[in-house]
Amino acid sequence: MKRSFNYTRKPAWIRMSLLTNRDFNTIKKRVGERSLTTVCEEARCPNIHECWGEHRTATFMILGDTCTRRCRFCAVKTGIPGEVDLAEPLRVARTISEMGAAHAVITMVNRDDLDDGGAAVMAATVRKVHELSPECSVEVLSSDLMGDKKSLEIMMDAEPEIMSHNLETVRRLTPGVRSRSDYDRSLGFLRTVKEIDPQKLTKSSLMLGLGEEKHEVLQTMDDLRAVGVEIINLGQYLQPGRTNLPVVRYWEPEEFDELKSAALHLGFLHCESGPMVRSSYHAGDQYQLIRQRLLRERA
């Protein structure tokens, strides 16, 4: 039986948009009609109304809605996944094309039941998006693929513009927060991306509020820079359900500002830091800013 936790009262600076407009309803309808899954819905993201209603962006989650891991912070369903849907890449790509998206984020459930962890389906999805929307950049938010380099090579062969993998929390808390995951394996995943393609942009995200100390967050940022990560997102953990870990504390907006300054000082090209930031928050704007900066530096 799962343990139940009470919700922690949210401070005044936690504010969620509830904008339900035409764009929001259009995206919701398309996702439903094509039997697609979004992390926006499955993970109960607090920014869903802003992203769908204001920015017309969504983070698509492929390979089903059932994860083979049971991370204690996550609201995604856990269990035995169904068969791989080989038609899913085309449905996702068509939806992204109809949205007119300039940047697409595609994530995945952990599929430890598959030999390649789902890398081939992710690669097929990236290729289909590029085929139907040639001007659309693609950001892959991958599982750790159990650290298998061959699977990572399959995924990267599709040439997504950004490879992302979330470290989620600090080393000390990882065993109690992330199921069947390993801090060093995640760092190794990001390091291997750079070994395969030194020019590939890499990204990671951290949740704050699970009991970490500031010096541990700074050490984690150091660890990410040591493996070449250029983009980092820092956000406040919010308990999605009573069976998920409770919030230990809410970091104040000023603290997020301080961490952003520290991240830029460490050499990250971009840092999105704030209570409502999530791994895909303003992802398209991030990519355009970094792309323009790199083009100027290489000119």
pLDDT digits (tens, 9 = 90+) for 244-279: 999 999 999 999 999 999 999 999 999 999 999 988
Q: According to the per-residue pLDDT averaged within each range, which of 15-19, 20-24, 94-98, 293-297 is highest?
A: 94-98
Is 182 in contact with 75 (CB distance < 8 Å)?
Answer: no
Which of the pair, 284 or 42, is modelled with greater confidence? 284
The amino acid at residue 240 is P
The amino acid at residue 193 is V
Name the percent of the chain lying above pLDDT 90. Answer: 67
> Per-residue pLDDT averaged across 135-160, rounded?
97
Q: Kind and range of the H or E element at 220?
A: helix 214-226
Question: Over 50: is that where the pLDDT of 52 sits?
Answer: no
Is 195 in contact with 203 (CB distance < 8 Å)?
Answer: no
Is 117 in contact with 148 (CB distance < 8 Å)?
Answer: yes
Which of the pair, 298 or 216, is modelled with greater confidence? 216
Provide the whole-model pTM: 0.86
